[in-house]
Structures are given as C-alpha cells and as structure tokens.
Structure 1
C-alpha cells in the first residue's frame, strides 16, 4: 500500500486536532494488524463527551462511531472519503467531504510526516479540565502583575501548560521536586500553590520572585550548582529541567546521584553538552544497556539530534526514556521523561553502584571528546550580558552608520539591478522612483 496514503491517514488518526477545530486530542486504546480503536476528545466548550471510533484497516479504511460511519480509500492517486451512515452528530458528512478530504490529499501530495503525538503519556481529559482550572486561577493575575521584561502572555501560559502536564503525570504520587534553573520561578510557584512540595534553584534571582507570596519566595533559592561535585538532593524524587540550558544533560546524572528512586522531567531548549555548547559527539550507544531503545527523533535538525543525545544520557543513567509533546506556546515542545528504570532491581545497592559507575565512565568519555583546554563544567555568568546591542554607545552606532552609508553612496547605481525592480535610471544617473520622482544618488 502507498506509504504516503498511510502517512496521511496516520496524521488524521493520531492528530485530528490539526484539522478539526473542535477536537482537543485523540488516543489509541488498542491496535492490531486488522484494526485500531481510538478515543476522540472534543474540546470542553463543545460539551460533547469523549467517544470511541473503530477503524478497520484494509485497502479502504472504515471508521465507525456513534456519530458516523465513513470510508477513506485511495483511488487513482486521489484520497476519497465516502460517508455510509450519518447520524448528524459531532463528525458530519459535509465536514468530512469539504474539509477532511482536501486536507488528506494535501498531506498525501506533499508527503507529510507524522510528528510526535502530543500529551501521549497522560490522560487528555484530565489535562483539559486541569488546564482550564489553572488558566482561570493563575493566568489573569500573573499577566496583570508581570514585572519581567519578557512577554507575559507567552511565559505565563507556557508555564501553566507545563505545570498542568506535570500534575497529570504525577496524579496522586507523593512528590518532592527540585526545579533546576527555575528562572522566573513561575513553575515552582504554581506547583507549590497546588500542594506539591519542592523548591526552585537558579544562579540568579529574578525581580518577579518578590511578587510571590512569602511561602513561595522561601522555596526559591539563588545558588550556583556544579553538577560534577554535587552529590544529589536528599528526599527529592523528581527533578525538573524546564529550559535549564547547561544543566539539561546533567539532569539524568543528578537524578542518578540523588538516589535509585529519583525520576526526572526535562524540556530541552538550547543545546548544551556536559562541558559546554553541544557539538555532536561520537556515538555513546556503547554505554546503553541492551534493553534500552532510544526513540529516535526523525529528521537531521540540530534540535532533533540534541533530543536523541539527551535520550541516550537517560538510557546510560538507567532510565527508560519516554518522549512526549506538550501543548505550550513554544517551538521547543518536546519533553523527555525518565520515570521507569531499565533494571527493576535498581534499588538494590549493588545494582545502584554499578549504575553510578557506568554514569561516571560516560562523563569521562565525553570529557575526552572536548578539544578545548578547560574540560570542566561551565556555569553561566551571574550577570546576564545583553546580546541585542542595547549597551553599545550612541557614538559607536552613529560612526558605523555613517561609514556604511558613505560607502553605499559612493557606489555607482547598478542599472540592471534597478531595472529588475522596475526603476528607471537616466543618462545623468538619476533614479526615477515608482511615484515618478527623480532621486539624485549623490556625487552627480
């Protein structure tokens, strides 16, 4: 069967929300060679309960739910959607023909890829309900009182989404967390306000910390941490790395040092290795236990390669890496969770010590790959250096501007370039603009 047809169908099966505005998500309950059963979760505002849809595979895929029965098949290079039975419910025949069918053919023609399904590790309905509650509880007041220079609409609702995901991931688990590189402290604030015990640590205090309740301020610690020398966090059972930059690859290692039962959640952003900016290392798969399979992120982008690298470190540290995609306003939405261990006997002292020995060997392996003289962990500076030229003196800016413009004005007009932009050049080198005015470029 045509692989592009299967891929287009897979997008509709796994990510219906990208085409149907009233769908929040779907999840696969069971699957065999002949069929699959999925649950579709409508958005809360529709007031429609989640429902199941049975998909029978074959030359034509048959979808059956309480609302409608329809067939999707490939005929002469065109994907055709045919409705067999319509009960005029959530999925309607007109929508399937007018919206889904063209979209399936678009995916088919451009050979689209199936990206990582979002919220795959948690209960989608629980996430919807929790997010709506957290958004209404924390969103308006945090946006109103935002004291940082960053965009509150992005950062507030991004951290609300991350907090909601963690709450759904933890469920009823007793959690004592450490949020490493907590930044504005918003994630720590929301989680602690929701009754979870934990602290946030960052190398630099933020102004917004002072706007939080005293009980939350006491949980935010300004401290520098060298993971090479650090022995772990006693009593902690979850480490969080939310855009923790240079600490990101150290999160699995710090979780291992903390104890055999410590788990982790990491949301990678800026690519760092153990000893500086991330440069693609030699394969570290030789350190992975044979029972660990890394969920290779498709594509050859630097970000995809970095996600695979972080997964490998989780595997080396004894975790079974799980990959998921968050629903947050960010291009960096892929998270990696380490909550299950490769060896069920990891709490045994001998097994745990062997795990730490493997981790230490890998640290030295990556250290040997570094070409620079300083092969140590490098923490970020206590002071944030602006990178947008805001601190350059006005004198320097004006001098550069004048130098550039003098050089440009000394150049003779390029007749062919001007004509390509529908501009006219006269014999005395004056330029006629689009509004029919004549401009003297200088020196004429």
Structure 2
C-alpha cells in the first residue's frame, strides 16, 4: 500500500494552484485539490476577469458618444442596464469556472469542493471531517481584501462583493489608491455614478512612474472623479433611506449610496492550520518560501499571493508550473521576478515595465528620458482632449532601455509586446532602427525623441 493517499494535495484552486495540480498530474503524480468556493480563484471569480469585462462595458459610454463624430446616428440618450451587464459577466465567470474544473478532471485531479486545513506536515483535514495524507502539500489560497475597522465599517463592501450589486449606485465612495480603487473609480464614473476616491496619502498608484500616474489623476479629475487626499475614515452611518453618511478627516460629511474599500489585499493564511505543521510566516502573515516555493517544512510548499512575492496572476501561474517541474519532473525551476510588466485598466489604461524614472536615477545615476505626449487620432476626430503619454527610460552609458511606461488607449496591449524588448535588454537604437507602423499609436515607441 502507498504511504500516502496522494503525491500532492493542493489547497486553493486559483490560477497558481490549478496550474500546479494540472502539470503535476501530467507528470504522473496522484493529485487532489480542495477549493471552498469556485475553481478559478480571485482572478477568474472576483478579480481581473470580471473586472475587465466591466471595464469593457464602461468604455461604451465614451464610444457611443464618440460614434456620432464618426457618422453614426444614435437617436436619444443610450440606455444602460446594470443588471444585464452584471448577469452576463457572472455567467461568463460560471463558464470559465466550468472550463477550469473540466481541465482538472481531464487530468484525473480529484476535486474536493470544500475547505481544507493543514493538520501536519503530510496531513490535510477537510471541512467534512475527513483526513487525507499527501507526500507534498501545496498552499495556494491567495490573498483577501484588507478591511479596516472603524465606526460603521460594517456598512462598506470589498471588491469581492462589488460584482453582485443589485443596482448601480448613484454615488460611490472608494477608499484606496491602488489599481483596484482606480479601476473601479473609472468603471463607476463611466457608468454614470458620482465617484469620490479617498486616500490616506496624496499619491495614487505609488509603484508606477510619476509622470504616468499624474496624467491619470489629471484625466480622472477632468472626467469628474473627486479625490480626497490625506484623509481617513472617521465614521459611516446608515440612513433611513438606505444611503450612508460618511465622514473622513478634513472633509464635510458626504452622502453616498455605496462605500467600496480597496486598500490592498493580504495573504489568506488565517485559520489554515499552518502552525500545526510549523510553517513560518512573515510579519504580514505571508508564507515564507525559498526560491523553489518551499517553506521551512520540507513537505509543504506555497505559491501565488499567499506568499506575497508579486501579487499578479501570471506570476502565480509561473510559480505553480515551476513547482511542478521541480518536485515532479526532476527539473529544478525558479521564477525570474525581474522586469515584470503590469497594467491598470483605468480610463484610460496605463501600463509599465522595468524601472520608473525615479528608480533609474537612484540606481543608475545617469539616464536619458524620451517622451511622446500626443492625442490619439480617434480622440482628435471625436474632439476629445484626452492625451496619451509614452515614456522611455534608458541607461545613458549603454543606451539600454531600462523602463517603458505609457498611458492611453490600449496601452496594456501595446506594452505586452514592447516588454519583450525591454526584458531582452534592447537599446533605444534598436527601437529607432524599426520602421514605424503608420498610422498607429504604437508607432510612437519607435519615434521617441
């Protein structure tokens, strides 16, 4: 008889856990996975996928308005129905959940649709009370929204619940300044809500280049989004009509219909039983791992946001794949965390890869910066004054491109290809030697001066 029930037991069927389970099974391992919600994790169920679909829906507000300048006759004011968008998005989530489940089952991965906790280095307990053993345990439970506590904080919601609203709120207050806060600010603003964004500091999207984030702030304010900086919640009071009275420091009381807290996400390790196995956590509650995603306990590994290395879905997928290669294919593999591209699907979207100008000056000293500040052709004809900004940072001594940042229509789609060049260590001269593809926005990348 086998010493353990499984070669691998995965806790959490998000992007990292599913990839690790599928690839490990393909290498011949006997694998089980436990998920207390839906298969697919944060990205598929309550994150980047449904949020991007809402972004697409919100974009039609401007597209329909601009269409008139392109000869399209639209009688009257376009009518938007929140319930239709919401239900179609949730239906797509269910479809993808089914596809992820089918993928696991097709690889003979046993799925437990219930919570699992760790009882020891090789033991897992299911919510049903049953215990399973495994030679290796992989924790891939992701992260969870951070919800601060203050008077009336129970009346606020997180990004988990925002996809299920019964109706579109007329007035929305969003707490935070990261990508979640700015993306939902753009979504609600374009769908017709009055949006106020509250932040504890005076900086949005701190990890992005200052020129790019300043441009987003300028455009957001022009679109009618209000910002309250250096402010924290004092209280929330629910009123008889169902609305809320909100007080933040330095501001008058404000009546709103929805309060969304988007102040970051924390590794979801609480109640997992990690202490029973002696798994070490850092001061933020994240699981400590080495370069091969192994914890201080030889049989237990962790990938994805629960380790708080880089909270991005593609990174979790790579970590899950590298784990499977290392443990079940005798091919020790690690993930390269250098020069990872990222994007914010705001209105307009922004994206970046490599060093910001500030980081480059601090690390390299001598740098050259090239910029293009322009209006997209579509915006010109639509008489929309919104301007795009592309920015390239190079090492002045070598001409190597160390950072590329942009804000404007389709910026993330353009940056994905350009990120390959930055990662490969190409130079500004390499870009200059490429003939422009005209007329496109992307051609600005090879015309920067």
Q: Under TM normalisation by the shorter chain, which class is it? A: under 0.3
TM-score, normalized by length of structure 2? Answer: 0.27
TM-score using structure 1 length: 0.27
Structure with the larger RCO, 1 or 2 (CA within 8 Å, 6+ apart): 2
Higher-Rg member (1/2): 1
